[in-house]
A and B are shown apart, each in its own frame.
Chain A
């Protein structure tokens, strides 16, 4: 086992060519009448071409807000990006003009959302909505856009695609609607697809179909993907790496297999232990005590300490740095190694 070394953030080394997408020390807050909520507190992660990263966390952990900051679709106000960088192909999106950022949206980085029924415009036919991107961004003719929209609906495996171009979102089932949403996102062949809880609103069987489709599309179209979810169960088959978020920070970052085998952060450990497992008999399901913190008054030191079974005085006093555990693994816990060793047992 490698000895842990404490290094300052960011932990991940940059490869020679640079990452496709990199978030560096991002800070976002929401300024409301009730006060300032610190939603993102120094998030860093990166994505290489064709890679798949899962961002995991409870609601309110900041996973969706990070994604919206990457897309540049945060509602400002109340959201305010305080500091940090979002590098796409080495250029900082946060310093670009709105027009430059618009060019990136959809064409370089596209996004799909949780609830496709409300994410699609209710009063336009789906074919029109898929084709709109092509007409507006590529100057395609109406007829060409329609033809391409049918191809895209075919690509996401909607049966009798050409016949359904004129249908409205509410006429589709939940799963089919999410496929339409994916077709909208794929229209301009983006290099990065951000999927924000794409299966949360769906039945379990349909969830699996959508996840399979996403995995297949990523392979075939050579896209990189950021999968945002709170469900550890859907991650395993799809993601290469996992970043676990808590209270606007990344608390653990690792490849999928090592993380599942031996989580190195008490929060991840708690999440894994709360999934029912088919291979272990008679194991009591545990839950994480307490509630996620109020983002207007984040606990001192390690924000997880009020809920953490490992918490010591040091956790109350000092914010833990990312501890590099080898294999490109980091954990923001004062007792990372201990937790990992516990988990591996």
Chain B
């Protein structure tokens, strides 16, 4: 008998004793691997995850404390510096209005991230409520809510946003900011709600939920303690990706002139301004474009990486 076989035999004995529940067994059986543990192991080895996470942290820092990244004031614009080259901390030079291109891009992160994060939170709230109700109670509630989801999903986002935002085109900056958040959330919650609904339906049929019900747990308790945790992880993945698309949507609306407006600094506004004067100088177009694209990409890749880790069969 080889050493290997001895080890295998001993381990098996141990495993058998473990099954019959005898105390004092050495923990020879391998540690059970949870789904989250597996996902984390996968994520740790994924360079895309680390790259996108770094970008997200960087942009978040930019939004929180922009002065860390630039000493210049983005609103300090002097026409005499129109399209001037790099100088004095303005590493990308100046735009058509004579503002520091880089400083404007740094300060633009705040509006983008604010809109993206708040829309995603609001979206998550709507999606969790609708998805839980539809998935948990089923029957006519599900039928009604699913139809509502279908209808909202059938509304073209840009067109609806144009119509909705038209109403606040003359309002103040803050009103417009929250209008944009509201519009994006109202039009964007459907995908997340579907994801929540289907994970609720899966969780609902698990044995432990039936057991909890038999032990007399009420609907509220079952939903809160047993169903919600199951629906949360997939919802967060969807919302991470959604956050990226909300940032893109905000920029698009601002680009069109119906989202945020000056004096609010937004990448969408600056891209539009840079586009008009691209023949004279391309940097004021390229810099905010790069900031926007990298931010959106970072969130989408982050969500993608997490989803792949949690659901490898989709790969």
A binding-site residues for B, Cβ under 8 Å: 290, 297, 299-301, 305-306, 316-317
Contact B5 A300 (CB under 8 A): yes
In angstroms, how far is the closest chain B Cβ from the Cβ of A334? 15
Contact A300 B16 (CB under 8 A): no
**What's the Cα separation between A139 and B233 when bound, in Å?**
54
What residue in chain B is nearest A289 (Cβ atoms)? B19
Contact B15 A317 (CB under 8 A): no
Q: Which of B9, B15, B19 contacts A300 (CB 8 A)?
A: B9
Contact A316 B16 (CB under 8 A): no
Contact B12 A306 (CB under 8 A): yes
B68 on interface, CB distance cutoff 8 Å: no
**What's the Cα separation between A306 and B9 when bound, in Å?**
9
Contact A301 B16 (CB under 8 A): no
9 tightest A-B CB contacts, nearest first: A300-B5, A300-B8, A316-B9, A300-B9, A299-B12, A317-B1, A306-B12, A306-B16, A290-B19
Report 13 cross-chain contacts, Cβ distance below 8 Å, ordered by A residue: A290-B19, A299-B9, A300-B1, A300-B8, A300-B9, A301-B9, A306-B12, A306-B15, A306-B16, A316-B9, A316-B12, A317-B5, A317-B9
Residues in chain B near residue A290, CB distance under 8 A: 16, 19
Residues in chain B near residue A301, CB distance under 8 A: 5, 9
**What's the Cα separation between A300 and B16 when bound, in Å?**
14
**What's the Cα separation between A305 and B15 when bound, in Å?**
13
**What's the Cα separation between A299 and B9 when bound, in Å?**
7
Residues in chain B near residue A300, CB distance under 8 A: 1, 5, 8-9, 12
In angstroms, how far is the closest chain A Cβ from the Cβ of B43? 15
In angstroms, how far is the closest chain A Cβ from the Cβ of B280? 55
How many chain B residues touch the partner (CB < 8 A)? 9
What residue in chain B is nearest A298 (Cβ atoms)? B8
What residue in chain B is nearest A317 (Cβ atoms)? B1
In angstroms, how far is the closest chain B Cβ from the Cβ of A30? 16
Residues in chain A near residue B9, CB distance under 8 A: 299-301, 316-317
In angstroms, how far is the closest chain A Cβ from the Cβ of B137? 29
Residues in chain B near residue A316, CB distance under 8 A: 9, 12
Residues in chain A near residue B8, CB distance under 8 A: 297, 299-300
Which of A299, A300, A305 has the most B CB atoms < 10 Å from its CB? A300
Knowing that A290-B16, A306-B15, A317-B9 touch, tell me 17 more A-B residue pairs with CB under 8 angstroms. Answer: A290-B19, A297-B8, A297-B11, A299-B8, A299-B9, A300-B1, A300-B5, A300-B8, A300-B9, A300-B12, A305-B12, A306-B12, A306-B16, A316-B9, A316-B12, A317-B1, A317-B5
Residues in chain A near residue B16, CB distance under 8 A: 290, 306
**What's the Cα separation between A299 and B16 when bound, in Å?**
12
**What's the Cα separation between A317 and B6 when bound, in Å?**
8
**What's the Cα separation between A301 and B10 when bound, in Å?**
12
In angstroms, how far is the closest chain B Cβ from the Cβ of A153? 36
In angstroms, how far is the closest chain A Cβ from the Cβ of B138? 24
Proximity bits, B1-34, A CB within 8 Å = 1, else 0: 1000100110110011001000000000000000
Residues in chain B near residue A305, CB distance under 8 A: 12
**What's the Cα separation between A290 and B18 when bound, in Å?**
11
In angstroms, how far is the closest chain B Cβ from the Cβ of A97? 32
What residue in chain B is nearest A316 (Cβ atoms)? B9
Residues in chain A near residue B15, CB distance under 8 A: 306
**What's the Cα separation between A317 and B5 when bound, in Å?**
8
**What's the Cα separation between A290 and B11 when bound, in Å?**
15
Residues in chain B near residue A299, CB distance under 8 A: 8-9, 12
Residues in chain A near residue B19, CB distance under 8 A: 290
What residue in chain A is nearest B312 (Cβ atoms)? A33
What residue in chain A is nearest B38 (Cβ atoms)? A34
Which of A290, A305, A316, A317 has the most B CB atoms < 10 Å from its CB? A316
In angstroms, how far is the closest chain B Cβ from the Cβ of A247? 13
In angstroms, how far is the closest chain B Cβ from the Cβ of A44? 24
In angstroms, how far is the closest chain A Cβ from the Cβ of B130? 31
**What's the Cα separation between A301 and B5 when bound, in Å?**
8
What residue in chain A is nearest B5 (Cβ atoms)? A300
Residues in chain A near residue B11, CB distance under 8 A: 297
Residues in chain B near residue A297, CB distance under 8 A: 8, 11
In angstroms, how far is the closest chain B Cβ from the Cβ of A33? 9
